[in-house]
Structure 1
Amino acid sequence: MPSHPAETHCAFLMDEGRSVSVRAWNEAAGLYEVLDNPLGPAVVAQDGTSAFLIDGKALPREVWDTHPRVRAARRGDLSGYPRPNWAPPD
C-alpha cells in the first residue's frame, strides 16, 4: 500500500487485488475521484509498475518530486486539498 495522506486521500484495491490506486477527495462530486498522491505513487501494480500522478495527470518521477503539492505535503501542509466532512473508520 503506498503512503498517502489519510485526511484527504483514500486507497482503493483494483483488478481483484492486483493493483492499488490512490484518489483525492473531490468535494464537488462528493467522493474520492481524482488519481493523485502527493506522498508517493498514485497507482501501484502487483507486477511492480507504478505511476506518479497529481490532479489526475501522470508525471515523470523527477517532475512529480518537485511539484509544489508534493513539496508542501512533505512538510505536512495539505491545504491544497479539500477534506471530506466525515471521518473514515479506524
Structure 2
Amino acid sequence: MVQDLTNPMLAQIPHVLLAANVGTIMGVETNAMQFYPEASNAEAIIHPGLYQRRNGMVDFGTIWGTGFGYRTSEIKRVLPEPSLVLGDIP
C-alpha cells in the first residue's frame, strides 16, 4: 500500500512518520508542496527536508522531542484570531 495524501503544514509530520514506521505502507506520496507550496513555509524553516523532495524522498531527521516531534515552539506561524471562543458561548 502507498499512502497518498495532500498534507500541508504540521499535518505532513504524522503522515510521513506513519509511512516510515508501519510495515505495510510501502511508500508515501506527499504533494502539498506541489499544489500549494507556500502553505508550509513556516514549518519548512524548522523541518526543511519534509517540505521538499530530493531524489524522490523527504527527510524527517528534524523530527524529535515530545509528542510527534512537531517542535511547534520553534515555528513562527501567525494564525488569525479565532472567530469563536468556547468561553463566549452563553
TM-score band (shorter)?
Answer: 0.3 to 0.5
Please identify the structure whose Cα radius of gyration is greater: 2
Superposition TM-score, scaled by structure 1 size:
0.32
Structure with the larger strand share: 1
Superposition TM-score, scaled by structure 2 size:
0.32
